[in-house]
Structure 1
Amino acid sequence: MTRQESTQRAAHRTTQRTPLNRERVLRAAVALADGTGIDALSMRRLAQELDVVPMALYKHVANKEELLDGMTDAVVGEIDPPGAGPDWQQVIRARILSARRVLLRHPWAARVIESRTGPTPAVLGYLDSMAGIFREGGLSADLTHHVMHAMGSRLLGFSQELFTAPGPTDPEGPSGPPDPGLAERYPHIAELAAATAHDGDSTVGGGCDDQFEFEFALDLLLDGFERLRRQGWTSAR
């Protein structure tokens, strides 16, 4: 037996001795989704990755929906805790951008979060913490309620865009020279598409710079919330 074979067998024995628990199952599921995409994730495939029989997984997650809930909580748990400081806008901004970095590491996670029938414990804890930052920053409970609605999924680092693939917002199409017909039919969209630099890997319509657009809207919202706070805004009619 070669040294390499001996090392591999020893590693396999170590893996076999590692007890299967919920945390290990969730870590493996997240890694599998990262590597192959969420559509390729199944209980059988996950069992193969862990070198166990599928039934062994059900001692730790009741079904795939509970697995997805747990994966959601595992990902949300990677978001940085809130920082310290008197400027609530900066604290909120930094944490949301941390959430965005986490979701960019796990591109499938936003879709799974949206698919949950209700917020998972980690998501609830995160949202409760964010609401607390708004309240400590001087926003009333009334204003905070509406702020949370206005922020929506942006609180978790992602947002719905008008377009998720090249379409009418991209007069040049996916490649090649501009299409004069599209530009003539949609002159204002064509003008906007040509008005700023674009990111070839963007998920925003027209190939816009995703990060810039996200932070641009985030800063507008935070500045608007602060203006309302100073005005003592209330939703009371």
Structure 2
Amino acid sequence: MTDTVESDAVLTDGATSPTRTPLSRERVMRAAVDVADAEGIAAVSMRRIGQELGVEAMSLYNHVAGKEAMLDAMVEQVAAELVAAVSALDSPDPAIDWRGALRARALAAREVMLRHRWAPGVLETRTTMNLDVVRYFDGVVAILRAGGFSNDLTHHSLHALGSRVIGFSQELFNPGDAAADTASEDLLVAMAAQVPHLVEMLGEVAHDDPGSTLGWCDDQSEFEFGLDVLLDGLERRRASTVGP
């Protein structure tokens, strides 16, 4: 099969004639992102993306060197969406309200991550630096500096905020898809004698918005709670380092 994809073009007499759309790295990237969004990152392979584009898998190698290069390209799209999302924000002036500006940025990033639920895991595996991701974090640093943070406190703040500043939380543990079913409830009962405090907490606390999650117990309210706790704490630390 050639390195093109057929589509229908309308002729002047109303008939259709097949035309060929050239394959490109961008088309491969977008197809891979679409497959990952719909089916999960495990579904992404050279063969599967070739099927999606209607070409032989070997044709993809003219545009991406292999699966790892394709994953890099997918991260490029997500990173570009991050930059576009925060560029469109009408957020507060960070010199006046740095917390509001940074909070808006993190929540805008989270909307991107919720569209691409596979992205956090892939981001953690990348060894190639993506310029748009670096630009995103440069914007975070700019907000903190404008808000009165020293470079040293800004550095500590980035470590404290971690992945939350880019829209997702890293969970302490993940019991898997069975976390909400009856079997997991039975397991908690069986474990009660060994981990009574954890079982008591999990038995009382329930999340009511599983569709917003990027990980177990990482729903929107928990994400915002953690973000606000961090921002409030950083503000107290910032205030203690500046003069009256």
Answer yes or no: same fold by TM over 0.5.
yes
Distance in 2, matches of 1:81 and 1:198, equals 28
Shift of 1:91: 1.3
Give, as a single letter, the amino acid of the residue that structure 2 aligns with 1:81.
V
Decide which of 88, 94, 103 is 2:104's aligned counterpart. Answer: 94
Q: Deviations over 1:123-164 (max 9, x none)?
A: 112111211111112111111111111112112211221221
TM value normalised by structure 1: 0.80
Further displaced range: 209-218 or 126-135: 209-218
Choose between structure 1 and 2: higher strand proportion. 2
- Structure 1 window deviating more from structure 2 (25-34 vs 44-53): it is 44-53
Q: Report the counterpart of residue 25 of structure 1 in structure 2.
A: 28
Q: Give TM-score scaled by structure 2 length.
A: 0.78
Residues 1:183 and 2:188 are matched in the alignment? no
Alignment of 1:90-169 (within 5 A): 90-165=100-175
**2 CA distance for matches of 1:47 and 1:68?**
15
SS at match of 2:184: coil
Unaligned runs of 5+ residues in structure 1 are 1-7
Q: RMSD in angstroms over aligned alpha carbons?
A: 2.9
- Gaps of at least 5 residues in structure 2 are 1-6, 11-15
- Which amino acid is 1:38 matched to? I
Residue deviations 1:109-128, cap 9 Å, x none?
11100111243222112111
Tell me if structure 2 keeps the 8 A contact 1:162–1:204: no
Q: 1:9 to 1:93 in 2, by over 3 A?
A: same
AA of the residue aligned to 2:199 = A
2:13 aligns with none
Percent of aligned pairs with the same residue?
A: 48
Tell me: CA distance 1:185–1:81, structure 2 relative to 1, closer, same or farther (3 Å): same
Aligned residues: 220
TM superposition shift of 1:89: 0.8
Which secondary structure state, in structure 2, belongs to the residue aligned with residue 174 of structure 1?
helix
In 2 relative to 1, CA 226–56 (structure 1 residues): closer, same or farther, beyond 3 Å? same
Task: Label 1:35 to 1:43 Cα distance change in 2 as closer, same or farther (>3 A).
Answer: same
Q: Which moved more, 1:112-121 or 1:80-89?
A: 80-89
Query: Equivalents in 2 of 1:29, 1:204: separation in Å?
Result: 22
Counterparts of 1:13 and 1:44 in 2: how far apart (Å)?
27
Alpha-carbon distance between aligned partners in 2 of 1:118 and 1:150, rounded to the nearest angstrom: 23
